[in-house]
Amino acid sequence: MSIYLHDIPLTEAKSRFQQELKNAGLWGVLGQEEIPLDEKAAGRVLAESVWARISSPHYHASAMDGFAIRAENSLGAAPSNPVQLRYEEQAVYVDTGDPLPQWANAVIPIENVEPLDDTGHISTEPRHPYSIRIRAAITPWSHVRPMGEDIVATELVIPAGQTLRPVDLGALAASGQTSLKVARVPRVAILPTGTELVPIGSDLKAGDIIEFNSVVLGAQVNQWGGKADRFPITIDNFDAICQRVEEAARDHDLILLNAGSSAGSEDFSVHVTEKLGTVLVHGVAVRPGHPVILGMITRKDNSKIPIIGVPGYPVSAALTGEIFVQPLLTLWLGRKDPSQEPVITAKITRKVNSPQGDDDFMRVAVGRVNGQVLAAPLAKGAGMINTLVHADGIALVPRGIQGLEAGDDVQVKLYRSLKEIDQTIFAIGSHDLTLDILAQFLAQRERRLVSVNVGSQGGLVALRRGEAHFAGSHLLDPETGVYNKSYINQYLPDTPVSVFNWVGREQGLIVQKGNPKNILSLKDLERSDISYVNRQRGSGTRVLLDYQLGKLGLSAERISGYAQEEYTHLAVAAAVKSGRADCGMGITAAANALELDFIPLYTEQYQLVIPNTVLENHLLDPLFDLTQDPEFKKAVLKLPGYTVSDMGRLVEQ
Amino acid sequence: MSIYLHDIPLTEAKSRFQQELKNAGLWGVLGQEEIPLDEKAAGRVLAESVWARISSPHYHASAMDGFAIRAENSLGAAPSNPVQLRYEEQAVYVDTGDPLPQWANAVIPIENVEPLDDTGHISTEPRHPYSIRIRAAITPWSHVRPMGEDIVATELVIPAGQTLRPVDLGALAASGQTSLKVARVPRVAILPTGTELVPIGSDLKAGDIIEFNSVVLGAQVNQWGGKADRFPITIDNFDAICQRVEEAARDHDLILLNAGSSAGSEDFSVHVTEKLGTVLVHGVAVRPGHPVILGMITRKDNSKIPIIGVPGYPVSAALTGEIFVQPLLTLWLGRKDPSQEPVITAKITRKVNSPQGDDDFMRVAVGRVNGQVLAAPLAKGAGMINTLVHADGIALVPRGIQGLEAGDDVQVKLYRSLKEIDQTIFAIGSHDLTLDILAQFLAQRERRLVSVNVGSQGGLVALRRGEAHFAGSHLLDPETGVYNKSYINQYLPDTPVSVFNWVGREQGLIVQKGNPKNILSLKDLERSDISYVNRQRGSGTRVLLDYQLGKLGLSAERISGYAQEEYTHLAVAAAVKSGRADCGMGITAAANALELDFIPLYTEQYQLVIPNTVLENHLLDPLFDLTQDPEFKKAVLKLPGYTVSDMGRLVEQ
């Protein structure tokens, strides 16, 4: 622990790095190479501005099939006053694109010409007549593409730094180029290190971590115009890592040393960098991802190569790519037009806390409800790559701000197009497995379902705030035995909504395979040898549990693990599967998914609550179509414990 | 001419094509293949939805370096009441990511622990102590990433149809995938045909057309997820083209037969398609690009392959790619998320006419002036690939609308990001070669210069309508001999503007190399053996010419070619170079660029007229910085006939 990381602000980290890169002569385009002008040049970055060598067209070209003439010779021609021109001397047939004879200055389209033979009759060889007769005058340069119409020799065709698009290649060819000077592709070595890492495809035992950061970083590097070289996994051994870094330094332009960037006992990155060069920064005040190392490695010939110590948590690794690697590749390629994700302003859907000293890059789901763009924060864990997959964008809570209140404006860098955002159905509420299947089917119908799981009551609150297109809910009224109605009256007194049946589903206890502890009813939860995993407060399942505990006269306090909360049925099942708990309440499908046993106890209605304002537009049409779609119902019924007979029926308005 | 093309509406053309593709079983994903899960999978399209095979983490993992304990054993620990735990029985050291022992349910970070030796002193082996002392209780599952925190086995990871992004690959690996089923890449044969075509790099003679459409189409196909195969040029010979098409049909999924799609004497595409299959559509009511052929070729085994006859004009060819090829590739790949260009609403800057029966795809330059997004139509010629390079987007004037008035709203599909649009300096006015150099230098300074050449007066009109950030102008007042001032008073009475000197430049007569016709002054223009090429009305050069003609008592009517108008200096030079005229008025640099001779006559001030509202924001800052930049001035002075001594001086406010 001799060196402990010390977070510095992002701007300072970047400026230290920039200064060292400048000193090393690496602050600009790395180099250029000449490549043939063909379709494979697309996506490369032009290293020098290109000026036209020739004009396009490079001669006066006919723009029609017809006869090249001198316009002066057509003077006076009119329907009642035809003018006759002798072939070869005064008129020559030209196809579109053919050059005009020196003496000609206009083309008369073939359909406006009467070709004649030597007897004055219509010629049988319309393209080689004896003469032609015309009945309208034309002006000089009619139906001619004059030389240089498109491009004039010496004009600027494409400026340096442009990433070449297909049409750019056309213009470059038209202007007489035959090869192109483009920026050399930066070579990036990606070095996964860690004794606990195993390659994709390995048999796994507890403690093994599948090494996929190098795949993510590699794909990022390639996407940003570099060439990624993935190295094999190196174990946590100082000398072995030193050797790898030296090897990589030989023929690359940048080294990404993944994991071991923190200050733990087996975190060698900073020591390796110190030994082989200089550590510029150890720790950047960004979240997630703060244990970043920026340094320079010195090669045998005294030249330098930058090294980035990338944190091991996958979200940190991917964001380190975006924050440090992408700008460096853009610089080295001289790209003047890096593809930029659009940035929009959105309303944050719930209060979030951020460390005041950090730039906090927050993953968010984005949707538009009632014309308002909303950003719902996703889980923060840096280990959760899946949250980055589900993120529609990244919202920055800048350094100096301690957090945001629900409803505050936030800037979001979008990973999706605005069009996709507008096709997004934003569901906040109770989780159900059928929503995953719905998402799949909607994806075939130009809709994207984003479901944020906050439990049934949380969903109704979101509807009241106008922050969701629908909420899945299964809140049992203990008084009436009716689902949702009384809660809607309570939570949504001023929001007209309609309620539709979605699925019926079995609720019960998820237990270990073979039910080794012989759990048969809720009464067993009070047993001292039984540990329970609960759903969070406000979820329909929790309401059902508390209702049934009350009915049975059981006490929550006597249930070991009652305070352990999970947010989805599958998370409860996973807790049981892993042995963290002996049982938890949930649905049949979750038990089956993880091959656990299930004790059925109750059947409940899972309903969709939809604001009437949302029903008025067409966003949800595909969802209602699906309630009548046998294929969709078949897919739902593959999940055990579900009924769909009443799907889509309006039960409340 | 037996078959003449007959335009049908785009929607009908597409639906005929769709029906035939359905009949042939080609209306959907073409096929799938299994590929390894590595960085090269990025950009491929997932053919089947992927569900998690394992959870992530797949075991309870420590989230910190520290000691795994049972939380219950920490109960009661407080600063004044330390609790001691025996090593191995009650506490085990774990690194971040290590699995918890079966009996443990929490991790206490190492910095919150006092490791002790068997004498009760601080241990010298902090990771293998005799016991540990803690001074705070922790709750169960603290600092633990429980199994399934990120991904729970069986949940949906990525839906079918998603184009794989770097982070998606991470989530797929984390969920236990080792290979991926992705859509097979459609193979597209691109067949350039035409006797007049020559490959890139050929020596050119009049009539030769550089074959680059196949490069543009090939790059488009690759960009949209297909694999392009460019064939060699085939001459205009029916049998030769038939043979090529049959060869291409063997091992491709789509044939693009480029050029010969119209109904001219050497347009064989429709005949070839008829012979080898079926013509579904010949002619689509879109502009540019209407002579499109859609058909199906029948292979020897009776299977079918679609063929698209692509028009030869480069703009038509590129837009045919966008309209017909891109949607087909998207369908065949099963992409649910085709990258969509943003569509915005813009104000059209001038009246445009459109054929009522056609969907008219109009190239436009786009900028934002005073908060208003403007679209300036570019030239319409289908042969001008350069207009597509300069286009910031495509505005659609739909079928049924005959045109638009200046100021009408139009929908624009953007080729650039909104951020780039907001960094765009929109110049409308007189053309000058230094604007090309300015564009180049601005590109290094996060600005993009779009200059639309409409002449000096047109620029002032654009400023009055609030449609430009500045106008370059060199309008001489014949009364005062002062540039611009009186015109500004006349055209911009209510628009406060400032005028800055830009460059001084020589105006004179551009003549053939060696001046074979011995042209010495404007008086020679009246000679009957001299033809002239003029600039358009409203341009500063035209004003200068007319002023000088008046002064000299010369008559425009006696000048042959006075009515021939060009819009830029280089276009005038090109007209002289090609022999279309003997001389034209313009600037030295234009003559030099095309190696012509120049007769200097006058020196004029080229000035920038800038609305004061524009000066207030920072968009133009880099432009003013450049007026003080020696590098920039050096680049300008490389052009002959320019002075920069007064550049950037405010002359009028």
pLDDT digits (tens, 9 = 90+) for A622-632: 999 999 999 99
Over the stretch B395-417, which tens digit does the pLDDT of each residue have? 999 998 888 998 899 999 998 88
Distance from CA of A520 to the nearest CA of B (A): 25
Question: What is the strand order of the sheet A113-116 is part of?
Answer: A83-86, A131-134, A113-116
> Percent of chain B at pLDDT above 70?
99
- Residue B340's closest chain A neighbor by CA? A417
**pLDDT at residue A13 is higher than 50:** yes
Decide: A160 and A334 in contact? Cβ < 8 Å: yes
Which residue ranges make up each domain of chain A? Answer: 10-27+185-333, 32-57+149-183, 61-145, 344-414, 457-652
**What is the pLDDT, as a whole number, of residue B566?**
84
**Which ranges of chain B have pLDDT less than 50?**
1-3
In chain A, how long is the greatest CA-to-CA distance? 118
Closest CA to A511 of A533, A487, A543: A533
* A266 band by pLDDT with thresholds 50, 70 and 90: confident
The enclosing H or E element of B144 equals: strand B144-145
pLDDT value for A1: 33
Nearest CA in chain B to A204: B58
What angle do helix axes A630-637 and A434-443 make, rounded to 10 degrees? 150
- Supply φ then ψ for residue B300, to 5 degrees: -55, -35
3-class secondary-structure state, position B536:
coil
Express as a percent the part of chain A with pLDDT over 90.
71
DSSP sequence for B476-498: B-TTT--BSHHHHHHH-TTS-EE
> 3-state DSSP call for residue B567?
coil
What's the ipTM?
Answer: 0.88
CATH of domain B453-652: 3.40.190.10
Query: Which B positions 113-132 lie with beta carbon below 8 A of chain A?
Result: 127
In CATH terms, A344-414 corresponds, of 2.40.50.100, 2.40.340.10, 3.20.20.140, 2.40.30.10, to 2.40.340.10
**β-strand partners of A133:** A84, A114
If contacts are CB pairs under 8 Å, which of residues 502-521 in chain B contact chain A? Answer: none
A215-219, A449-453, B112-116, B305-309: least confidently modelled range: A449-453
Q: Say how far apart CA B579 and CA A378 lie, in whole Å.
A: 69
Burial class (CB in 10 A: 0-12, 13-18, 19+), A482: middle
Cα-Cα end-to-end distance for chain B? 64
Note the CATH architecture for domain B343-416: Beta Barrel (2.40)
Q: Is the model's pLDDT at A3 over the cut of 50?
A: no
pLDDT at A582 over 90: yes
Quick: pLDDT tens for A483-505: 999 999 999 999 999 999 999 99
Superfamily (CATH) of domain A61-145 = Molybdopterin biosynthesis moea protein, domain 3. (2.170.190.11)
Domain A32-57+149-183, CATH homologous superfamily name and number: Molybdopterin biosynthesis moea protein, domain 2 (3.90.105.10)
Query: How close B83 comes to chain A (CA, Å)?
Result: 23
**Hey, what are A435's tokens?**
């929503």
CA distance A524 to A528: 9
Whether residue B210 and residue A167 make contact (CB cut-off 8 A), yes or no, is: no
Residue A630 identity: P
Task: Note whether B97 contacts A388, CB cutoff 8 Å.
Answer: no
Task: Please give the Cα distance from B285 to B648 (Å, whole number).
Answer: 50
Instruction: Give the mutation candidate from A177, A205, A385 for the B interface (greatest B CB count, under 10 A).
Output: A385
Task: Give the closest residue to B183 by CA, choosing from B212, B225, B211.
Answer: B225
Write down the pLDDT at residue B4. 55
Mean pLDDT of A304-323: 95
Q: Tell me the C-alpha distance between B498 and A13, whole Å.
A: 42
* CB contact set of B427 (below 8 Å; sequence gap of 6+): B435, B449, B450, B451, B452, B459, B468, B469, B470, B471, B472
Assigned token pair, B302: 């009776």
| A98-134: pLDDT as tens digits | 999 988 989 999 989 999 999 989 998 888 899 999 9
Mean pLDDT of chain A: 92
Question: Residue A246 above 50 pLDDT?
Answer: yes
Q: Half-sphere exposure of residue A371, counting CA atoms within 13 Å on the CB side?
A: 1
Say if residue A566's pLDDT is above 90: no
Which amino acid is residue A76, in one-letter code?
G
By the 8 A CB rule, do A171 and B386 touch? yes
DSSP three-state, residue A36:
strand
CATH class, domain A10-27+185-333, is alpha beta
pLDDT over threshold 50, residue A2 = no
Q: How far apart are CA B1 and CA B8, in angstroms?
A: 19
Please list, residue by residue across A405-434, b when 16 or more beta carbons sit within 10 angstroms of its beta carbon and e when fewer do.
eeeeebebbbbbbbebbebbbbbbbbbbbb
Per residue in B48-95, pLDDT (tens digit) is 999 999 989 999 899 988 999 998 899 999 999 999 999 999 999 998
Contact A636, A503 (CB under 8 A): yes
What pLDDT score does B3 carry?
46
For domain A457-652, the CATH superfamily is Periplasmic binding protein-like II (3.40.190.10)
Q: Compute how many other C-beta atoms are within 10 angstroms of the C-beta atom of residue A486.
A: 15
Mutate which of B386, B565, B588 to test chain A, going by most A C-beta atoms within 10 A? Answer: B386
Q: B389 and A212 in contact by Cβ < 8 A?
A: no
Q: What is the pLDDT of residue A127?
A: 87
Cα separations in angstroms, A185 against A33, A172, A223, A330, B534: 9, 21, 12, 11, 47
User: pLDDT value at position A35?
Assistant: 98
Task: Give me the DSSP letters along B568-623.
Answer: SHHHHHHHHHTTS-SEEEEEHHHHHHTT-EEEEEEEEEEEEEEEHHHHHSSTTHHH
Residue A97, beta-bridge partner list? none
To probe the interface with B, which of A210, A220, A363, A416 has the most B CB atoms within 10 Å?
A210
pLDDT of residue A349: 87
Q: What is the spatial distance between Cα A589 and Cα A508, in angstroms, rounded to a whole number?
A: 11
How far apart are alpha carbons B427 and B558 in whole angstroms? Answer: 35
Measured between alpha carbons, how far is A231 from A382 in angstroms, rounded to an integer?
24
If you search the block for the tokens 């079926």, which residue do you land on?
Answer: B278
Please report the pLDDT score of residue B1 as a whole number. 33
